[in-house]
Amino acid sequence: MSPQPQAAVGAPLSRVDGRLKVTGEAQYAAEFDIEGAVHAVIVDASIGRGRITGVDTDAAEAAPGVLRVIHHGNAPTLPYRDNPGSNNLPGRKLRVFQDDRILFHGQPVAVVIATTLEAAQHGASLVKFGYDAERPTTDLAEGEPGRPGNYSRGDVEAGLRDADVRLDMTYRLARNHHNPMEPHATIARWDGNRLTVWDKTQWVPGTQLELSTVFDVPLDSVRVINPFVGGGFGSGLRCWPHTVVAALAARETGRPVKLVLTRKQMYFGTGFRPAYEYRMRVGSDRRGRLAATDQGIDAETSSYETFTEAVMSPGQMLYSTPNVRQSYRTVPLDVNSPIWMRGPGAATGVYAVESAMDELAHELGIDPIELRRLNEPAQDPSNNAPFSTRRLLECYTIGAREFGWDRRNPKPRSTRDGDWLIGMGMASGVYHTAVAPAQSRGRLNANGTAVIECATSDMGPGTYTSQTQVAADALGLAMRAVDFRLGDSRYPQTPPHGGSMTMASIGSATLDVCIQLRQQAIRLAVEDEESPLYGVNAEDIVVRNGRLHVQGNPARGESYQRLLTRNDRTRLEANASFSPPRGERHSISAYSAVFAEVAVDATLGLVRVRRMLAVYDAGRIISPKLADSQAIGGMVGGIGAALLEHTVTDHRDGRIANAGLADYLVPVNADIPDLKAIYLEGEDMQADPLGVKGLAELVIVGVAPAIANAVFNATGRRVRELPITAEALL
Amino acid sequence: MSIELPESDVPPPKGADEPSSGPTRRTFIATSTAVGGVVVAGGVIGGSLLADPAAAETVRSGQVSLTVNGTRRTVTVDNRTSLLDLLREEFGLTGSKKGCNAGACGACTVLVDGRRVNSCLTLAVRLEGTEVTTIEGLADGDQLHPLQQAFIDEDAFQCGYCTPGQILSGIGCIQEGHTGSPEEIREWMSGNICRCGCYVKIVRAVEQTAGRK
């Protein structure tokens, strides 16, 4: 097969759905106009643990417009068939209104359905519960850890004992909430035994499967629709209880029901990045070669499910270290279950590792980049697999040059600008490249357009656009001739829209389906006596702008349109089922070097990020304009984690004390200076057929430690806690 | 009903998971109330109207005439209805977004008589005689407003959910003359949160559009 000309892939194109988004026409879950829909509002438990002793719905039911109040006392028993899929966690999931147990503050205890939103909200305020309250345990430091997950290589005790330099640090990371701008929302409608939900989700097939098991209806009786997702960052990777509540409410009332979580409910109605404590003991020789690390990791989980993530990986493989020991314990607490959040595991693990590296560099008097170079492994130290591509050293070189790293004074608290202490810091980042099976189907129409469909989502990275770019090139069509559709469970199955695997997985399926369509057309042409391409070797034909022609001889050819019309074909169709290749074992990850300059007010402790730059080794970049936005957005997310974001729980009753965007601080425009992203040109063909290594997770990893290290350089104060607040620096 | 009464505000020692230890003043108030038979209200949404039970029995409404994107509309609204809910739930103008419903995120920003406001904090009944402009009213046929086009050109959004509010707020920012420098734009655009983190590009889009005026 001759290589297709690359026109769309790699070009800095604007979003294909841009117009819909700037005109307000893009429809998010709660925005579908469903005939006869009524409104539902959830009532949240006001205790952190215990039992419901009574419920009084009289006032609510008497209120104008209220149709129904459903709670554990009157809800039907739901089948809740076993479902180990759908990103359900090990344990026993929360079953809505099935018993009187309260497992966390804010747990849904009732739902009020009314004809208007105002009536439903008011009705919800009138439902009264009595509780038998127990004191919840919600503090990571107070819980009883579960059995640890362990990793070990070499002899850590000997390595530490024989080391010239030993450091012992404990880092703490606050709980973070995704806080996508669009609140989670579901519209549910039953037509007989068939359920349709318009639902904010990052995994259309996952939600479909979950609802079919909860209500015990056939999988194909459940349809999930969500063409637009207003941000997710992981919060939509599971089907949360409110989606079941909406479907239940719709079934019980016989009406379509719209249920939108309040911003406050997002803090306990969906998951979060758990709080962590990460103890790190490090030993090295005088020159800076790492001898041993001993890592003890504790993280929050709920009392009813065990949440884990790949937090151990960076501490195993980022640097060459002969002796490594890790113990990762989850601590069950009276909280709702966590869920993966952007850069899951890696953002946390890398913060600890990269903070420790900076501390070691300072201790040894070595430049932080030099220390990292010294410990650059030749192969993956965790499993001795060869790296597919690992261009971290290039990231350092280019980043240092572009950022002006040579202007950094290694002596902390030595650069001032008026009242401001100025510091520079850097950190490496890594995120494992994930690829999962994905399906796609496509058709090439006789009018020269193509439609590609799969059940993935687009929560903002630009899946519509980048997949269209892949398809356009593989089909030899203009971007506008390709209609890439997603967000419907009637389309072919896809993995979760997360873990940075969408391009690698769905992109590979899209690529496959489009190559098949092109080949079908080429075959049709070379076997068609009336085609100018009759008898030409199929290998020598390329397609450009919808026209098949002999490579090197553009005059000899014809359009898809002519070819299909003449052959009485209204369309060509193809299906693709992509499975990750199982070839030679490689260690496949995307890498970054992140640089930050901060200013810290010497008197007030205020931290301002002045500028940031990051260099990424992420394989092929399909959509550079959108990739740039992803990277900058990742830096903004990392700035939030470093300096602002902190879910505060009142441990006395398990209430989240700052459940709102006025109190849970996220970066605003004034917090963000100019940020710069550089992608190394290249591809990783071991990773997947497109040569991509994933972006969305990588770009948040390494940001927080780069800032933390810059704060140390500025102030000489090592704050081992995120977020770094003014109080910690006073 | 068993109620654990508080003994001190000191948290229990690490490792203790006895439910009986250390409730706090807040738990005390809640649990005591329960003991007294007046159960604790579960919901927290708009709860303070409860004092007058009669208030729950009738819905008070009012009539309001306002112009939305050039079209005069006269409607009877529940007095509790915000402009945002009126737009989204009654008029089907879902381009204005609900991000927090508390005036903290700016996703609901619209122009009322040319000024940018958080429509979630604005009661609809108060808007008699006003002119409201939402994202749906910006383009002139197929011709996008220059700031809409600049958002596309600069890739000033990702998920798109905050975008209508950012654009309306950007129009307000430009009209107010707060575009003298990128720093000034940042400051005056800080009422609009973008969780995807597109601020750098939002500033560019606003700057570019202001420069063309």
DSSP letters, B14-83, are TT---TTS---HHHHHHHHHHHTT-PEE---TTGGGGG-GGGGTS--EEEEEEEETTEEEEEEEETT-BH
A460/B contact by beta carbon, under 8 A: yes
Run of H or E including A244: helix A241-253
Residue B55 maps to a domain = no
pLDDT at A115 over 70: yes
A345, A313 in Cβ contact below 8 A?
Answer: yes
The 10 Å Cβ neighbour count of residue B37 is: 9
- Report the residue from B21, B96, B167 with minimal CB separation from A135: B21
Shortest CA gap A505–chain B (Å): 21
Is the pLDDT at A93 greater than 70, yes or no?
Answer: yes
What pLDDT does B59 receive?
Answer: 79
B42 → closest Cβ in A43, A64, A135: A43
Residue A730 exposed, middle or buried by CB count within 10 Å (0-12, 13-18, 19+)? exposed
Distance CA B83, CA A399 (A): 48
Per-residue confidence (pLDDT) for residue B13, from 0 to 100: 39
> How many of the other CB atoms lie within 10 Å of CB of B92?
11
Contact between A136 and A83 (Cβ < 8 Å) = no
Q: Which residues of A touch B143 (CB under 8 A)?
A: none
Quick one: B150 and B96 in the same domain? no
Per-residue model confidence as pLDDT tens digits over A459-478: 999 999 999 999 999 999 99
pLDDT band at B213 (very low <50, low <70, confident <90, very high): low
Q: Count Cβ atoms within 10 A of the Cβ of residue A243 and give its class: 0-12 exposed, 13-18 middle, 19 or more buried.
A: buried
Domain count, chain B: 3
Q: What is the pLDDT of residue A182?
A: 98
**Helix axes A624-643 and B199-212, enclosed angle (nearest 10):** 120
**Which of A121, A84, A129, A76 shows the shortest CA–CA distance to A244?**
A76
Q: Which of B101, B85, B105 is nearest to B93 (CA)?
A: B85
ipTM, two decimals: 0.97
Residues A193/A362, Cβ–Cβ less than 8 Å? no
| pLDDT the model gives residue A585 | 87
Task: Indicate which of B14, B45, B138, B186 best probes the interface with A, i.e. most A CBs within 10 Å of its own CB.
Answer: B45
Closest chain B C-alpha to A130 CA, distance in angstroms? 5
Contacts 24+ apart (CB under 8 A), A54-58: A54/A129, A54/A130, A54/B39, A55/A109, A55/A110, A55/A127, A55/A128, A55/A129, A55/A130, A56/A127, A56/A128, A56/A129, A56/A130, A56/B39, A57/A110, A57/A126, A57/A127, A57/A128
What pTM was computed for the model?
0.93
- In sequence order, the 6+-apart residues with CB closer than 8 A to the CB of A412 are A362, A423, A712, A713, A714, A715, A716
Residue B48 in domain:
no
Domain of B190, in residue numbers: 146-212
Nearest to A476 by CA among A403, A558, A535: A558
Confidence at residue A429, expressed as pLDDT on a 0 to 100 scale: 98
- B3 has a chain A CB within 8 A of its CB: yes
Question: Residue A438 in 3-state DSSP?
Answer: strand
Question: Which pair of structure tokens corresponds to residue B111?
Answer: 């122009």
Give whole-number Cα distances, A146 to A50, A200, A299, A325, B17, in Å.
22, 33, 10, 18, 14
Whether B89 is covered by a domain: the verdict is yes
- In CATH, what is the architecture of A32-134+181-231+236-269? 2-Layer Sandwich (3.30)
A190 touching B (Cβ < 8 Å): no
What's the full length of chain A, in residues? 730
To test the contact with chain B by mutation, choose from A23, A71, A671 the residue with the greatest count of B C-beta atoms within 10 A, namely: A23
Q: Is some CB atom of chain A closer than 8 A to the CB atom of B169?
A: no
Would you say residue B31 has pLDDT above 60?
no
Whole-angstrom distance, CA of residue B196 vs CA of residue B202: 11
Residue from the list B40, B107, B187 with its beta carbon closest to the beta carbon of A46: B40
Angle B25-B28-B33 (CA atoms, 0-180°, nearest 5)?
A: 135
B57 assigned to some structural domain: no
Residues B79 and B39 in one domain: no
Query: Which one, of A358, A353, A431, A361, lies nearest residue A171 by Cα?
Result: A353
User: What's the rounded mean pLDDT across residues A369-382?
Assistant: 98
Question: CATH number for the A276-434+585-729 domain, one of 3.30.365.10, 3.40.630.30, 3.40.605.10, 3.60.20.40?
Answer: 3.30.365.10
Domain annotation covers residue B56: no
Residue B27 lies in a domain: yes
The helix (run of H) or strand (run of E) holding residue A354 is helix A346-364
Give DSSP secondary structure letters for A552-577: TEEEEEEEHHHHHHHTT-SEEEEEEE
Least confident of A456-465, A633-642, B9-18: B9-18
* Percent of chain B whose predicted confidence (pLDDT) is above 90: 71
Q: What is the pLDDT of residues A202-236, one digit of tens each?
A: 999 999 999 999 999 999 999 999 999 999 999 99
Residue ending a domain, choose from B137, B155, B170: B137
B154 and B180 part of one domain: yes
Q: Which residues of A are catalytic?
A: 697
Residues A595 and A615: their CA atoms lie apart, in Å, by 9
DSSP-derived secondary structure letter, A680: P
For residue B39, is pLDDT > 90?
no
Same domain? B24 vs B84: no
Which band of pLDDT confidence, cut at 50, 70 and 90, is reported for residue B58? Answer: confident
| Average pLDDT over all residues of chain B | 81
Instruction: For chain B, give the number of residues.
Output: 213
Q: Tell whether A73 is within 8 A of chain B (Cβ).
A: no
B87 in the same domain as B115: yes
For CATH 3.30.365.10, the residue range(s) in chain A are 18-26+436-578, 32-134+181-231+236-269, 276-434+585-729
> How confident is the model at residue A583, as a pLDDT?
66
d(CA B26, CA A581): 57
* A661 vs B contacts (CB less than 8 Å): 99-100, 102, 104-105, 193
Say if residues A584 and A601 touch (Cβ distance below 8 Å): no
A639/A675 Cα distance (integer angstroms): 11
CATH of the domain at B186: 1.10.150.120
The amino acid present at A140, given as its one-letter code, is L
Residues B70 and B123 in one domain: yes
CB contact under 8 A, A460 and B46: no
Give strand pairing partners of A188.
A197, A257
3-state secondary structure (DSSP) of residue A337: coil
B80: chain A residues, CB-CB within 8 Å: 118, 121-122
* Any domain includes B197: yes
Coil, strand or helix: which one is A702? coil
Q: Output B14-19 pairs: Cβ under 8 A, ≥24 positions apart.
A: B14/A141, B14/A142, B15/A142, B15/A144, B16/A142, B17/A137, B17/A142, B17/A143, B17/A144, B18/A135, B19/A49, B19/A50, B19/A134, B19/A135
Residue A393 confidence (pLDDT) above 50: yes
Q: What is the pLDDT of residues B161-207, one digit of tens each?
A: 999 999 999 999 999 999 999 999 999 999 999 999 999 999 999 99
Q: How far is CA B204 from CA A424, A625, B189, in A?
A: 26, 14, 12
Contact B132/A at CB under 8 A: no
The structural architecture, per CATH, of the domain A18-26+436-578 is 2-Layer Sandwich (3.30)
Mean pLDDT taken over chain A: 97
